[in-house]
Structure 1
Amino acid sequence: MSRPMDMCAAEATASLLHAEESFSACLARIDALIFKPLLQAEPSDQKGKENFKLFLLLNDRFQALWNLTEENYRIVKQKCSTSEPFCIQDIYIVWKGDLFLSLYIQYFVTFANYVVVHGFEHATKSKSEAWKHHKTVLKQFLTDFTSETSMSLALYTVLHKPIRDHIEQYILLLTKLNEVLKEGSEKDVVTSTVKEYVKLESFISQVLDEACFTKTLWKSLGYKFTDMLCVPERRLLEDSRNLPISASTNRSDRILLFDDVLVLIQGNSFQSFDLKLVWVDENCREKSTPGLYGLRIITPEETFFLSAKDPQMKAVWQWKLNQAIRQALNGKRDFPLWGKTGEGTEPPSCRFFTYVFRLESKFKSASYEGEWHWGKPHGKGTVKWRDGRNHVGDFKEGLEHGYGNDMVYKGYFKDNVRQGFGILENHSAEHPFKYTGQWENDKKNGYGVWEDKDRGERYIGTWLDDHKHGQGIVVTQSGVCYQRTFHADKMVGSGILLLEDDSVYEGNFTEDLTFVGKGKLSFANGFILEGTFTNKSGQGLQTQGILNTSNEQPDERITKTQLGLKEFPVEKRWKGIYDQFLEFIHSGCKEETEESFTGFHIQTSKELRKSQEYLFCHRGTEDVSWKIEDILEELVHLKELESLQRYLEKALKSSLHPLGKLLKALTIAFQATYSGIGANRHLLTMAQEEVKYYAKKIWEFYQGLLHLALEQKGQMPAKCVDGETSDQKACSVVLPLILPCFYPELFMLYMLYHEREDDLYCQGIVDLSLFPDIKLLEFLDVQKHLWPLKDLTLTTNQRRSLIKDKCFLSATECLQKLITTVDPREKLLILQKTYEEIESTVSRVVETDYKLPMDDLLPLLMYVVSRAKIQHLGAEIHLIRDLMDPTNQGGLYDFLLTALESCYEHIQRMRLHQRENCHLSHSS
């Protein structure tokens, strides 16, 4: 680098050092004399509190600017103290120009928001003692202002003028440097930077003008309008009172163009139109009033005309409307606001947006998400009515078009045919159905679930070329279900039929569930009928065989029969979902496989146009942007278990994160199988093992994403240091996070499976609830020295009255919380807390730390269980047992769960003995 260049850079750096030193000192004074006192003067009224939050944000932006100035000062000072040659990279405002611009923009946007809501006026009216004390000092600081200057205007000026002046210093300094630089890359960099700072200067001027313009509007409008329209971020871009235009011939209305909405005020009412769904047509074919120049404004439900007196006024409104619409669609303002970047670019006529219809029409109260063209749904879209109807498909000029109204397919495609996991639903009244499962070459192939809504039946099983083929389970609305082999939709061979009264038939039967040929019928009471069954017309069902009555006890094995376990191994269900995700990972998480994974493509066939929604992805509903490169980067830094759990919880709740999409797909599949008709107790084990397998697969796929992230960084995966297997990690980390998605259907199955035991238990609880506390303690053989009655020196009758429903109350209330959570871990913690509450109560009674032996614990726990009256305790116990972390087996939690189980069974047996005794007394 030449010597003159060093000198130029050195002079620029010295000037910059002096400027930053002075500016930093100025900011320090502003902080001490303005921000700190105002931050101590928090208002008590609601409006003041809202403004105060905005002032806190302004303070944050100010501090960020000050910190950047200080950092720049330190860097420049350090450079000036060395003898090294200077270069452009030493000038921080050039080298880090984007950062400077960003922080200044953030500050002035927030500053303008504060101006719009009359922030400075409210702040200076503060009655805080801290603020009153600083007013005198502040007036000395504001020496440039006369006594007539209002305090609010003084504050407004001090908080923006020094900062604007400093930006002007940057421009002058860089301009001088640019003048002496020779042509080349360094001069080009400085030239570009100067342009950006000039744009920033223009931007700030425009932002402040808009803020004052908007503030004046809110002052002029009544509370009725400002309460509904005034938000800090909203800016008035044009007012028909400033640039005349009208929506009616009597000219009494008012048009307000904001940066996000167009507002039409007529009398005491107004209409607001979201700019993203506003189209401006200058070529009005309608007959307009002579001497007026019109624009047609098109919105989803209304069209109206704006009329101007001359073509120039019409052109300005048209330009401003189009620029505002374009910027609203882009989601950001131009920089500067009305600079050259906005010229010549009109908003697109085709858009993608969500809208809820309000006015009377066939779409009233329906939500439409999809493509629009000149105010009407046009192209691909989804309309959903409140009654559950929907149309997913093509729209043409606001109406459903072609395929979509009857059958809807949501899922994956390959080479223009349905392939992989997908859902086909027919909404027609003639034959409504829904298929959720695997597709191959546009046909149902593999594992899937078919719901025939006419017949009230659900088929769970395998398919081949669009036919039920192989093993299948049929569940009916009446509660009857059967397992059978199918061949091209026809039942073949023998099967197992489970009836509503808990009888089980094994043999051949017809489609209308009539027994045919050899078979065995096992009754719920233990009797077995084995023989040949026939069904002659008019004579009903007949059989020749042997009735075995030797076993008069109900056969537990029969009532607890579980289907589908051998026939549908859990790892072979929903392979289409797992394979799609696996392909996504193996591809290196490429964007094209991400599209396929989210069910994105729309395809066409000869007969009908197949259409999809984003299968698991809901656009515009989340703040977080889950870009795959960001996801992989974040995974590498997850070291602690707690941070991993937080990350997984956030990812699984997101409809945009790959793991969240996977969970959404699995939830859809699970509900298609086990909700509604599928709520059958004979499917419990199948459902329970499926949920555990989901957790395992999600953990595996998380590991897959992590390995990919580490590979891209050139790192090796760390070995598991806690000794837990993948299955244990899935159970301890993932299962509690995903269980809420499946809990309603799963717990319903547990309730149905344990219905009989829970009924007996509930009847036992009713009997025990008739006992007063003392009598119940006696009945349960709780040792008297453990009764919590020692502190009461009352008569027996008084004592009974006082302790009614209060004995071991803390433990009882604790156990009742068992039903408030779905997580087995939390349920076990509640059980442990209940035990501790019992032990704590007993310790207070005996006035020493008392560790309960099993002989004492069981009667006391039985007392608490009987008073807690948890309705479906059997279902709760078995869900915890089946889904709890395997590492808890054999430990304290296992012991406490076993104790609770013993109490539950004991209460059932008490009721059984009562029944038997009652039966014997009647017999005698």
Structure 2
Amino acid sequence: MCSPEEATLLRLEEVFLATLARISSLVLQPLLKAAPEPSDPRGRECLRLLQQLHRSFQQLWEVTEESLHSLRERLCPLDSTGLESLLLLRSADHVVQVHVEYIESYTNCMVVQAFQKAAKRRRVIQALLLTREYWRDQQKALRQLLSGVGSEGPVGTALVQSLCQPLSHHVQQYVLLLLSLRDTIGKHHPTWELVVHAATLFENLQSFMRQALDQALATQALWHTLSSRQRDVLCTPARRLLQDSQDIPVTVTPLRAERVLLFDDALVLLQGHNISTFDLKLMWVDPAQDRCTFHLLTPEEEFSLCTNDPQGQVVWQWKMTQAVCQALRGKKGFPVLGAGLEPSEPPTCRCVAYTFCAEGRLCQATYEGEWCWGRPHGRGTLKWPDGRHHVGEFCQGLEHGFGIHLVPQASEDKFDCYKCHWWKGSMCGYGICEYSTDEVYKGYFWEGLRHGFGVLESAPQAPQLCKYTGHWERGQRSGYGIEEDGDRGERYIGMWQADQRHGTGVLVTQAGICYQGTFQADKIVGPGILLSEDDSLYEGTFTRHLTLVGKGKVTFPNGFTLEGSFGSGAGRGLHTQGVLDTAALPPDPSSTRRRQLGLGAFPMESRWQGVYGPFQDFVRAGCPGDLQEALLGFHVQNSRELRKSQEYLCCERTQPEDGVGKIEDILDDLLLNREPKALQQCLRKALSNALHPLGKLLRMLMLTFQATYAGIGANKHLQGLAQEEVKQHAQELWAAYRGLLQVALQRKGQAPEKGEDVETRDLQVHALVLPLVLPSFYSELFTLYLLLHEREDSLYSQGIINLSLFPDTKLLEFLDVQKHLWPLKDIKLSTNQGCAESVMEKRDTPWSGISASCQPLNVCRRSLDPQEKLEVLERTYGEIETTVSRVLGQEHKLPMDDLLPLLIYVVSRAQIQHLGAEIHLIRDMMNPIHTGGLYDFLLTALESCYEHIQKEDMRLHLLPIRWDSREHS
């Protein structure tokens, strides 16, 4: 059963639909048919607005028809649907939106006086005159339509009234009927909330219409008070005047303005012919202490508005605030301006695009991104007209944080790309820079210049291949650094100043020549030392190209010396005049080969301060999470060659995941794993994690180590320098761990641990850190040991080959092993030997199995640290004593005279490669705590064994060897 309100609503919709039909036929259609296509821009704009009005009018007509149809179905006796079937209830938002769009189209035409302009056109007037008989016949209907507007009024005014007044009256009737329906059905009715919602929407629509019409009238009146130039600049159909300083006076400081206009999208200051327009989306209202003043902030200006009294200040500030909110919301004030759910205060942080106009570094640049209080703040993009781009983080208007900066070059599609951390507008911190020349720099910056540690590498296809790894100062190479010149086959290790080699340096060539001396302004000056591949030593002066010149002394590998003057002439080669001394005793070959360069020339603790320094600064600052990524570099995924700028406007960086790489989790993990066993595992995990600060530090040290000692730098005369450096890195990594631990304790409010003495520190470094970091440097370091002991290992290898020709019994006899230690029967090997049987061929004595237990000393097991290799040696010694005890049937301790030949037998059968290099590496990296202990004794025994095997070759030549081939097989 239908209510009286529904019946009244049905009649209301029928009348309104008929009214819309008359408006369309009597007003809109004649206007659109008679109006020609204008030739001037203003005429085209007028026609566009009228066409838009017609489209929104048609939508209003259609929604009214739908509403009438739903009412008729509801009033049908056979229909059993509820109130929710009415269009005004189930689709109230849509109905209201259609009305809003029509009002906006109507007021747009009203603001620019489109109706009056169209009505004045000759063809429109002619059309109306030609149909005057029709208008006379319809005069009554037209008078009803205009609701009291006499025919004597202007045609434009009549058009304005006819297109708006019926709609206002109809919305008012909607509100009355919906409120009456709400009171009739009561709160317990199922559709009560729908009715209340619809009534509220139409009440807001009624208020919106009044406000929109008032603003349109005020804006239309404003244009008559402005000059034609001002009107041309400011007049747009969608713009509405909210406040005029002629109504409430206001002054502007420090800017000057004769008149201030507040529109719904901009604040305009008029001063003579000057027009200053400020976008409300980029305006921040800041109340001042003075009750009559408030401040306004924009991207390029900051000024104040001052009124004559506090009440005027309240009006201006409130309207400014609400206008900013409305501009950011993007809607034309529906519901009523300042009402509804929108915030009363605009958000401080916004995301808007803006092009800078004032002179300066940002002139003509367009910024799109996040803002705060008139400044770019947060993530955003800057684009300059010349093609420069900056994508990244900003703080108070300056590049700050990680950012990608592109600088176009003269060549087509070539850019310099800077992926770097920024500080207050300039590159500061770690960055990766890829230049248009295909050079790449990875390292630190300060105030936009390379500063600190960094690596500059030329392109692979460059005419001159070059790579520098070291320290920089204000954009120039300065301090300790390594340069590799691929074309000349040279590597320079030493000091730099003002982009030139300056100070003590070591020069290594691909031919194996190694020079140490003084450089000045990129040239060799003064005396120096030169070591050749055959260990010849020259001490004296040189030319720029390492040619001997002037006074000097040559010491040959056999001990002979040549001292005098050296020189070279064109086509004559090297010539000398001096004294050749052949009376000197031959030097110890091992001492000759162990001549090392660089030791003492570059203090260990100062070589790589550019790597240690950022980590130390990070720890001193308390390990802030926002600086963690910039610490010792970051990893950039999907790096490609430079092509177009758009390919580099985003950078996928490796970010710490939950529980992995976050500094808070890292520090907590250190606190939980401070016990010795847990600490070792914790450090191993940290050093293997590329996101962990300790892992980052280790990887950067690996990079410097490879740059110094790999490739051309693999020279045996640098072995001491490399060994020294590995130990220093282990100490620094331990100090880094201690620093992180102290920060973790401070964050938890716990007392920091006491400082370590030197003895405790060295013990922890050798026992805990060195075994963990040595595998990272092992490849390059062991190569240097191999080169240094190449001759000794060659003699050793020949001795092993010769000894392998003996069968076991003959070998035991040759080595003078006492016969009571020879086996009388096959003895079962111990458990530790059994697992190694497959490694080597089984022999006819139990000693052969012991050789298998010695296999881990082989160079192929490079992952073993010195401590583990000493443990292998200890197990081998234990196997020898166990086997001897079984042979003798009683426990027996071997003296050195008995142990040495047995150990020679075991080593010869194990055929350990490069044993000399292994022994010396173990000796150099051994924990000092083992000096004078069992490990030291066993290592000394192995060294004696190694030396004896080198000498066996001479013994074998003096001893005629005969045995049956079948026995040997």
The answer for the alignment partner of 2:855 in structure 1 is: 816
SS in structure 1 opposite 2:793?
Answer: helix
Q: Write the letter of the residue equivalent to 2:734.
A: W
1:596 equivalent to 2:638? Answer: no
Report if aligned partners of 1:409, 1:610 keep a CA contact under 8 Å in 2: no
SS in structure 2 opposite 1:596?
Answer: coil
Which of 664, 667, 673 in structure 1 is aligned with 2:708? 673
1:88-110 deviations in Å (ceiling 9; x for gaps): xxxxxxxxxxxxxxxxxxxxxxx
- How do 1:765-784 residues align onto structure 2 when only pairs under 5 Å count? 765-784=800-819
Q: CA offset at residue 686 of structure 1?
A: 0.4
Alpha-carbon distance in 2 for matches of 1:599, 1:525 = 50
Alpha-carbon distance in 1 for matches of 2:904, 2:620 = 55
The answer for the alignment partner of 1:413 in structure 2 is: 445
1:905 equivalent to 2:947? Answer: yes
1:762-800 deviations in Å (ceiling 9; x for gaps): 1111111111100111111111121123349xxxxxxxx
Which of 869, 872, 880 in structure 2 is aligned with 1:827? 869
Report if aligned partners of 1:411, 1:612 keep a CA contact under 8 Å in 2: no
CA gap 1:915/1:502 in 2 versus in 1, 3 angstroms: farther
1:694 equivalent to 2:729? Answer: yes
Which of 563, 566, 579 in structure 1 is aligned with 2:600? 566
Report if aligned partners of 1:471, 1:483 keep a CA contact under 8 Å in 2: yes
The answer for the alignment partner of 1:297 in structure 2 is: none
Which of 534, 542, 551 in structure 2 is aligned with 1:509? 542
Report if aligned partners of 1:434, 1:452 keep a CA contact under 8 Å in 2: yes
The answer for the alignment partner of 1:550 in structure 2 is: 583
1:441 equivalent to 2:501? Answer: no
Q: How many residues align?
A: 519
Alpha-carbon distance in 1 for matches of 2:724, 2:958 = 37
Q: Write the letter of the residue equivalent to 2:915.
A: L
1:500-525 deviations in Å (ceiling 9; x for gaps): 22211111122332211101011111
CA gap 1:671/1:713 in 2 versus in 1, 3 angstroms: same
1:194-235 deviations in Å (ceiling 9; x for gaps): xxxxxxxxxxxxxxxxxxxxxxxxxxxxxxxxxxxxxxxxxx
| TM-score computed with the length of structure 2 as normaliser | 0.50
Q: CA offset at residue 619 of structure 1?
A: 1.9
The answer for the alignment partner of 2:613 in structure 1 is: 579
Q: CA offset at residue 679 of structure 1?
A: 0.6
CA gap 1:589/1:912 in 2 versus in 1, 3 angstroms: farther
1:528 equivalent to 2:567? Answer: no
Higher relative contact order (CA 8 A, sep 6+): 1
Report if aligned partners of 2:455, 2:469 keep a CA contact under 8 Å in 1: yes
Q: CA offset at residue 813 of structure 1?
A: 0.5
- How do 1:444-463 residues align onto structure 2 when only pairs under 5 Å count? 444-463=477-496
CA gap 1:623/1:688 in 2 versus in 1, 3 angstroms: farther
Report if aligned partners of 1:393, 1:611 keep a CA contact under 8 Å in 2: no
CA gap 1:664/1:601 in 2 versus in 1, 3 angstroms: closer
Percent identity for Structure 1 against Structure 2: 56
The answer for the alignment partner of 1:229 in structure 2 is: none
CA gap 1:597/1:692 in 2 versus in 1, 3 angstroms: same
1:426 equivalent to 2:458? Answer: yes
Alpha-carbon distance in 2 for matches of 1:612, 1:768 = 65
CA gap 1:554/1:911 in 2 versus in 1, 3 angstroms: farther
- How do 1:613-692 residues align onto structure 2 when only pairs under 5 Å count? 619=654, 625-692=660-727
Report if aligned partners of 2:567, 2:576 keep a CA contact under 8 Å in 1: yes
CA gap 1:522/1:618 in 2 versus in 1, 3 angstroms: farther
Q: CA offset at residue 848 of structure 1?
A: 2.0
Which of 899, 903, 916 in structure 2 is aligned with 1:874? 916
Alpha-carbon distance in 2 for matches of 1:549, 1:905 = 28
Report if aligned partners of 1:505, 1:522 keep a CA contact under 8 Å in 2: yes
| TM-score computed with the length of structure 1 as normaliser | 0.53
Q: CA offset at residue 836 of structure 1?
A: 1.3
Alpha-carbon distance in 2 for matches of 1:772, 1:687 = 42
CA gap 1:620/1:913 in 2 versus in 1, 3 angstroms: farther
- How do 1:140-159 residues align onto structure 2 when only pairs under 5 Å count? none
Q: CA offset at residue 596 of structure 1?
A: 3.1
1:740-764 deviations in Å (ceiling 9; x for gaps): 1100000000111111111111111
Q: CA offset at residue 862 of structure 1?
A: 1.0
Q: Write the letter of the residue equivalent to 2:498.
A: D
CA gap 1:723/1:811 in 2 versus in 1, 3 angstroms: farther
1:371-430 deviations in Å (ceiling 9; x for gaps): 99xxxxxx9599xxxxxxx999479xxxx9982452100011122111111101111421
Alpha-carbon distance in 1 for matches of 2:644, 2:696 = 25
Q: Write the letter of the residue equivalent to 2:750.
A: Q
Q: Write the letter of the residue equivalent to 1:775.
A: K
Q: CA offset at residue 867 of structure 1?
A: 0.8
CA gap 1:420/1:678 in 2 versus in 1, 3 angstroms: same
The answer for the alignment partner of 1:470 in structure 2 is: 503
Alpha-carbon distance in 2 for matches of 1:902, 1:877 = 11
Alpha-carbon distance in 2 for matches of 1:691, 1:667 = 10
Alpha-carbon distance in 2 for matches of 1:484, 1:645 = 42
Q: Once superposed, which parts of structure 1, at least 4 consecutive aligned residues long, lie more than 6 Å away?
A: 608-613, 620-623, 720-723, 915-918
The answer for the alignment partner of 1:743 in structure 2 is: 778
Q: CA offset at residue 716 of structure 1?
A: 2.3
Q: Write the letter of the residue equivalent to 1:541.
A: L
- How do 1:93-242 residues align onto structure 2 when only pairs under 5 Å count? none
SS in structure 2 opposite 1:759?
Answer: helix
Alpha-carbon distance in 1 for matches of 2:923, 2:627 = 39
The answer for the alignment partner of 2:435 in structure 1 is: 403
Specify every segment of 5 or more residues in structure 1 that has no aligned partner in the other structure, as ranges. 1-344, 352-369, 373-378, 383-389, 603-607, 793-801, 919-924
Alpha-carbon distance in 2 for matches of 1:539, 1:651 = 61
CA gap 1:861/1:709 in 2 versus in 1, 3 angstroms: same
Report if aligned partners of 2:826, 2:845 keep a CA contact under 8 Å in 1: no
Report if aligned partners of 2:614, 2:632 keep a CA contact under 8 Å in 1: no
Structural RMSD (CA): 3.6
SS in structure 1 opposite 2:773?
Answer: helix
Alpha-carbon distance in 2 for matches of 1:601, 1:653 = 15
Q: Write the letter of the residue equivalent to 1:460.
A: I
Q: CA offset at residue 590 of structure 1?
A: 1.7
Report if aligned partners of 2:471, 2:477 keep a CA contact under 8 Å in 1: yes
Q: Write the letter of the residue equivalent to 1:811.
A: I
Q: CA offset at residue 911 of structure 1?
A: 2.8
Alpha-carbon distance in 1 for matches of 2:405, 2:899 = 63
Report if aligned partners of 1:679, 1:745 keep a CA contact under 8 Å in 2: yes
CA gap 1:380/1:432 in 2 versus in 1, 3 angstroms: farther
1:825-881 deviations in Å (ceiling 9; x for gaps): 111111111111111211221122222222221111111011111120000001011
CA gap 1:860/1:914 in 2 versus in 1, 3 angstroms: closer
The answer for the alignment partner of 2:68 in structure 1 is: none
The answer for the alignment partner of 1:208 in structure 2 is: none
SS in structure 2 opposite 1:782?
Answer: coil
1:868-897 deviations in Å (ceiling 9; x for gaps): 111200000010111011111111111111
Alpha-carbon distance in 2 for matches of 1:526, 1:535 = 24
1:40-94 deviations in Å (ceiling 9; x for gaps): xxxxxxxxxxxxxxxxxxxxxxxxxxxxxxxxxxxxxxxxxxxxxxxxxxxxxxx
Alpha-carbon distance in 1 for matches of 2:630, 2:941 = 51
